[in-house]
Amino acid sequence: MLDASKARNAALDLLTYIHQSPTPFHCVSETAKRAQSAGFLGLDEKSAWKLDDGQAYFVTCDGSIILWRMGTVPVENAGLRVIGAHTDSPNLRVKPVIDVQHAGYAQVGVEPYGSLLLHTWLDRELGVAGRVVSRTDQGLACTLVRIDQPLFRVPSLAIHLDRNIREEGVKLNPQDHMQPVIGLEGPNKNMLREMVAEAAGVDSSAIYGFDLSLFDLNPPCLGGVDEAFIFSARLDNQAMCHASLSALLAAPASAPTHMVCLYDHEEVGSGSHAGAGGALAERIIERLMPTPEKKARVISQSWQLSADMAHAVHPNYEHRHEPDHRPRMGFGPVVKINTQQRYATCGQGEALFAALCADAGTVCQRFVVRSDLPCGSTIGPITAARLGIRTIDVGNPMLSMHSIREQAGSADHGVMIDVMTRFLAS
């Protein structure tokens, strides 16, 4: 069993990691920074590589990052232990026409990214962060930006102006009702563009493109009686990014090559050059074993954990859960099973993960969705199909998934890191 102070430290470190990661680009940057200080070497895909036994490396690709530590024996003799997770979370993305004015207000054009719970974004103080691409004498340059000021607010409609809300609930049209106000209409028609340019240290006329999203300024924290919970944005799925990175940094080198793949674009289907449906991981695995025969030998003895947060039983909606497969917070990591292959776990993978949990002194909980509800999915089936690696879908239980402010169990995080560390070293 993991002792309480270790579990608390793991949860506190997660709060820092999430706070540093308002967007996938920042998540990659924070991950790379932590890996570098642990001795990992950053590689450029454009260069020739010479990989040394026992050495650790990483490659970044926009909002995705792949990290690995070479095993103590040649990779074709022991295979890979891969943990995959995703860096992106649902949010509001800034549209290309950044500044607009309506009804006396300065506003910003935004659109939903992924399946967010729109109502949770109302009446919050929001900042903006992401990547700005500017034109310089040397070509196009990317700069990470983050404005931690309460600039944006999506105001809800007063109940007096729509009495139906009481009976019908809040109905939000993503085009009409989610545009934040940032100020009062005035002569400056480029309010936000200029603020973003200043944050990037460039002239606003030099900005040729950007990937910007809004984020909640409320910092992550522990809460509830005895700090039983983590309250935070982006627990889905930066909690599993942090857990897999922490496990990679903690795991002693062993025979298999340890690999962590953190992908962007899961919330919109993973179909991008940097996403789990793209060729990023495949390209790197091919560079580890260049011949088809060696690749087949590696893949056939490899395993992947697809780590993504899981649904804890909701006390106010118990009937929404399959009665015999309802994970609880504080009761151990979750393995997810779906016969339609929305999760990639098979009986063999379930057993392997349950054995790792038993070795860590914890229980493995099982999640199955109700048979009359559609099942969500993860990068698990996508990467299993693409790479051919046997995959187990796992995660920690949480509430409020895809809300701007999510909730997980604070003791669960360190336990998952422990189980993942055992998986890598297995």
Radius of gyration over every alpha carbon of the chain, rounded to an integer in angstroms? 22
Q: How far is the CB of 308 from Zn ion (least distance, A)?
A: 4
Task: Identify which range of 74-82, 222-230, 303-311, 317-325 contacts Zn ion by CB under 5 A.
Answer: 303-311
Closest separation in Å from C-beta 114 to Zn ion: 9
Q: Considering CB under 5 A, how many residues would be counted as binding Zn ion?
A: 3
**Relative orientation angle of helices 235-250 and 4-19, to the nearest 10 degrees:** 120
Q: Which is nearer to Zn ion, 30 or 308 (CB)?
A: 308
For Zn ion, which is the closer residue by CB, 181 or 344? 344
350: contact with Zn ion by CB under 5 A:
no
Min separation Cβ 162 and Zn ion, Å: 33
In this chain, which of 30, 62, 264, 308 binds Zn ion, going by CB under 5 A? 308
Residues 115-134 binding Zn ion (CB under 5 A) are none
**Minimum distance from residue 88 beta carbon to Zn ion (Å):** 9
Report yes or no: 335 and 367 within 8 Å, Cβ to Cβ.
Answer: yes
Of 107 and 338, nearer to Zn ion (C-beta) is 338
Of the two residues 216 and 236, which places its CB atom closer to Zn ion in the complex? 236
Closer residue to Zn ion (CB): 99 or 267: 267
Mask for 177-206, x = binds Zn ion (CB under 5 A)? ------------------------------
Smallest gap from residue 309 Cβ to Zn ion (A): 6
Q: Looking at beta carbons only, is 236 or 406 nearer to Zn ion?
A: 236
Q: Which of positions 229-268 make contact with Zn ion (CB under 5 A)?
A: 236-237
- Which residue lies nearer to Zn ion by CB, 69 or 234? 234
Q: Cβ 73 to Zn ion, closest distance in Å?
A: 34
Q: How far is the CB of 264 from Zn ion (least distance, A)?
A: 12
Q: How far apart are CA 259 and CA 162, in angstroms?
A: 53
Residues lying near Zn ion in the complex (CB under 5 A): 236-237, 308
